[in-house]
A and B are shown apart, each in its own frame.
Chain A
Amino acid sequence: MVPKVEKSKALELYLEQFKRLENGAGGPEWLRPVRQAAMARSSELGFPTVRDEDWKFTNLTPLSKKAFAPAAAETKLSLDDLAGFVFRGQESARLVFVNGRYEPELSDSCAQPGGVLACSLRQSLELQPELVKLHLAKYLDYEHDFFGALNTAFVEDGGFVYVPDRVVVERPIHLIYVSTETPSPAVTHPRNLIIVGEAGEGAVVEEYVSQGGEEYFTNAVTEIVAGPSAVLEHYRVQRESRRAFNVGTVRVQQSRSSNVSCHGVHLGGGLVRNNVHPVLAGEGAECLINGVFLPAGKQHIDNFMRVEHASPHCDSRQFYNGILNDSASGVFSGRIIVHKEAQKTDAKQTNRNLLLTDEAQMDSKPQLEIYADDVKCTHGATIGQLDDDAIFYLRARGVPEDTARTLLLFGFAAENLERMRQAPIRDYVESLVTEWLPHGEVLKKLR
């Protein structure tokens, strides 16, 4: 059955915006048909609805009825405004985007002699045109993904990271997307491309923050290409305004024996969809999907994981922990797809959730699609409250009840934070989580 497509107000607006961009004529010649196809496809697909199995728990009506327009190019931010987000001296490079536009003044890009490149996507079209052409929009399934298609239609700028073969970049590369106050609700379509060559190694942090922006829409896509034996730690730290919409997709293509970690930290956003989609395409590849999401107030955070095992002897691990306060809601969908040829797959998925109030709501849905016969797949989900025995244990040692709860909540998140190997980022995320927790200040004395 093909559901009747009713063009939403927002969709019409996007089509108009696309026309104003001369139907995607900007950028290199080869990109034009891609953009046009993507726009046509997003128009056909339309906004997903709750009738769509993959969107069952997330109602997009507020987003599809809202008019968002690209923000005008003006910013008055200084580096001092970003002090809270910058790991001074601990980054290999920093790329700052304000309302979707790259800000060279605030950035510290990198074009090292070894060939490491961390720059804006626009710059990469000049510096590494062949690489971009080879990989951009080659992995994201915009045929079936409305938001991915929309992002592809509006590809304009984003971060580009290239780690050549056998090069190790020790300190993380930091991409910061800042939303500022705009006269009308703004939309941005950040597009990131991260390429790690054979046996190369690096870490990339994508951070989404608000500096005055209230109601806006971030529709981000990141494509990650991990060469044979490449090692990458990827982080998405999402600290949007509590009224913002954030749809983010991380699509990972993994070659033989590559090892990619996709960490997520979701604190902000009013309505958030967090898509992580690794494809283990080469034998012996490993991936880790690890994260925490901490909605409060009326926030809604929907985590949609899709792990595809397409080759033998690959390992995937998913660990997502949620703490939901107030009347927040959350979703965890974990789909593991094991293709016929992916024998000896070892896939594991764990989603644990704590509800701090009676009003908070969580839907957790594991899904296994297994077409191979020699595989090991496990999944587990829990939704509950803090363990009374653990609270009592702490109290019986003299720890006040509030502190005991805070310690346990932190511990709950800390299991996931401990998997983040980049120490400066882990410390940063720990402090964000600490600030978020009820009575989090008591933990500061204990660190």
Chain B
Amino acid sequence: MLEIKNLHVNVEGKKILKGLNLTVNAGEVHSIMGPNGSGKSTLASVLAGRGGYEITDGEVLYKGRDLLELEPEERACEGVFLAFQYPVEIPGVGSIQFLTAALNAVRQHRGLEELDALDALRLFKEKVKALHVSDELLGRSVNEGFSGGEKKKNEIFQMAVLEPTLAILDETDSGLDIDALRVVAEGVNALRSPERGFLVITHYQRLLNYIVPDFVHVLVDGRIVRSGDKKLALHLEEYGYAWAGDRDPAEAAAS
């Protein structure tokens, strides 16, 4: 579904991603772990199409197409979803208004009929209920005055509404209390299906107790230095990133 080949990315002239390779197949949950500054969020931003990133080499194929050619909204319509590390507060724009605009843009692209305001609202209420999130968020402006946890839950709620094919979670767990963490994990687990892929970017192993990944990758200094299954995450938790990054992978594997 997603093939990242030798991806090199600069930000303001500085090399951040230095030849990243990753393949996510439908039905798989991949976790990317890494220390601060390793390029995790850059990867998420590049996949979602945020401006300000210079792709100097490599390619990204999504469902066989060149993902990097698409506008952010086209990517979203094609099923790419990014749960933001820092969801944006948008005063004055109602959550319902925003989500209806998003949902109908996506539905239109997918050849589905647009929902009218009432049906859209019904769907939103269903989804908040299923996620055990307060429907109070629907009556507010997008993320305005939300706590950190509320914002992250809102991201997961939006994901549930838009039903993406590839969901990227950018440190969605950072700073979350255990209740919010469960909501996030349940939201992801409810969407897990043979058709969907997940890229769960995190700094800590904790989230992976709830979202059990099929693969764990360690990103250090712009490259994936190590890949394994969920046990790798536990190992990292114990030994730290230095263990994965500092040693030559071949040597580390032999020891």
Contacts and interface: CB of A to CB of B under 8 A. Distances in A.
Contacts of B141: 411
A397 B93 contact: no
Nearest to B92: A411
Nearest to A418: B92
A357 B184 CA distance: 41
Secondary structure dominating the interface of B: helix
A446 interface: yes
Contact of B102 (A389, A399, A414): A399
Contacts of B243: none
Interface in A418-447: 418, 442-443, 445-447
A198 B87 CA distance: 48
Given A393-B84, A446-B100, A410 B92 contact: yes
A407 B48 contact: no
Interface residues of A, number: 30
Given A399-B102, A446-B97, A415 B88 contact: no
Contacts of B48: 396
A260 B111 CA distance: 51
A11 B149 CA distance: 64
Given A389-B88, A390-B88, A446-B100, A396 B93 contact: no
B16 to A, nearest CB: 18
B72 interface: yes
B71 A395 contact: yes
B139 interface: no
A392 B117 CA distance: 24
Contacts of B103: 398
Nearest to B96: A446
A418 B94 CA distance: 11
A83 to B, nearest CB: 26
B98 A407 contact: yes
Contact of B162 (A394, A397, A403, A411): A397
Given A398-B73, A400-B73, A401-B73, A393 B101 contact: no
A410 B84 CA distance: 23
Contacts of B231: none
A408 B93 contact: yes
Of A394, A442, A447, chain B has the most CB atoms within 10 Å of the CB of A394
A410 B97 CA distance: 11
A398 B105 CA distance: 6
B64 interface: no
Given A392-B50, A403-B101, A446-B101, A398 B77 contact: yes
B92 A394 contact: no
A408 B94 CA distance: 10
Contact of A415 (B87, B92, B117, B158): B92
Contacts of A446: 97, 100-101, 117
Secondary structure dominating the interface of A: helix
Interface string A374-391: 000000000000011110
A392 B86 CA distance: 12
Contacts of B244: none
B106 interface: yes
Interface in A189-223: none
A55 interface: no
A415 B93 CA distance: 9
B109 interface: yes
B101 A399 contact: yes
Given A388-B51, A407-B97, A447-B97, A396 B76 contact: yes
Contacts of A401: 71, 73
B90 interface: yes
A397 B97 contact: no
B112 to A, nearest CB: 12
Interface string A349-393: 000000000000000000000000000000000000001111011
A281 interface: no
Nearest to A446: B97
B2 to A, nearest CB: 16
Contacts of A412: 92
Given A393-B84, A393-B87, A413 B92 contact: yes
B76 A397 contact: yes
A257 B13 CA distance: 60
Contacts of A398: 73, 76-77, 102-103, 105-106, 109, 162
A411 B91 contact: yes
Of B76, B77, B88, chain A has the most CB atoms within 10 Å of the CB of B88
A397 B75 CA distance: 9
B106 A410 contact: no
A397 B92 contact: no
Nearest to A406: B101
B213 interface: no
A392 B47 CA distance: 13
Nearest to B89: A390
Given A389-B88, A400-B73, A394 B50 contact: no
Contacts of B72: 392, 395-396
A411 B89 CA distance: 11
B49 interface: yes
A289 B117 CA distance: 33
B107 to A, nearest CB: 9
Interface of B: 48-51, 71-73, 75-77, 81-82, 84, 87-88, 90-93, 97-106, 109, 117, 141-142, 158, 162
21 contacts: A388-B51, A389-B88, A390-B88, A392-B50, A395-B72, A395-B76, A397-B76, A397-B158, A398-B73, A399-B73, A399-B101, A403-B101, A407-B97, A407-B101, A411-B92, A414-B92, A415-B91, A442-B101, A443-B97, A445-B100, A446-B117
What 9 pairs between A and B have smallest CB-CB spacing?
A: A411-B92, A411-B93, A398-B76, A414-B92, A397-B102, A395-B72, A398-B105, A393-B88, A398-B106
Given A393-B87, A398-B103, A403-B105, 17 more contacts: A390-B88, A392-B72, A393-B142, A394-B98, A394-B101, A396-B50, A397-B76, A397-B102, A397-B106, A398-B76, A398-B109, A400-B73, A407-B98, A414-B93, A415-B92, A418-B92, A442-B101
